[in-house]
Amino acid sequence: MTAYIRVKNTLPSSPKVMRLARELECSQEEALGVMIRWLAWLDMHTVDGKTGLDTTEANQLVFGHDLREYTEALVAIGWAELVDGKVCAVNFEKYCTPTAKSRISACERQRKHRNSKK
């Protein structure tokens, strides 16, 4: 089965992407990549968005290094939170649940069906 994360077409111009770019002092495209990588990692390695990792561990495991404080920036903009010192996703269920994935699959099937009629 193909794995999906929900990325709306409005995400690239989202205020949170812009805030993340400012926090990380990077381009909006890089900030978008950080957000997508965060969601993809959560989807592959958690069932509820709770990582069980502190920010240093999350930077190393999710983003592959600890040179930039990606996880801290995600907390600062509200896409992640610290619960008992561990990084957790905010609104995980909107992006990475089986229900969200089935909605995405249904939309894709419907789009293909409509396009096949043209």
The one-digit pLDDT tens for each residue of the chain (118 residues) are: 456 677 788 888 889 999 999 999 999 999 999 988 988 888 888 888 899 999 889 999 888 876 678 999 999 999 999 999 999 998 887 766 565 556 666 777 888 888 888 7
* 72 in a structural domain: yes
Q: Residue 69: its pLDDT value, please?
A: 87
Residue 43 counted as domain residue: yes
User: What count of other Cβ atoms lies within 10 Å of the Cβ of residue 20?
Assistant: 25
| 97 belongs to a structural domain | no
Is 13 in a helix, a strand, or coil?
A: helix
User: Which SS3 state, helix, strand or coil, does residue 88 take?
Assistant: strand
Number of continuous H segments (helices) and E segments (strands) in the chain: 6, 2
How confident is the model at residue 46, as a pLDDT? 85
Can you give the length of the chain in residues?
118
Q: What's this model's pTM, rounded to 2 decimal places?
A: 0.73
Task: Specify the number of domains making up the chain.
Answer: 1
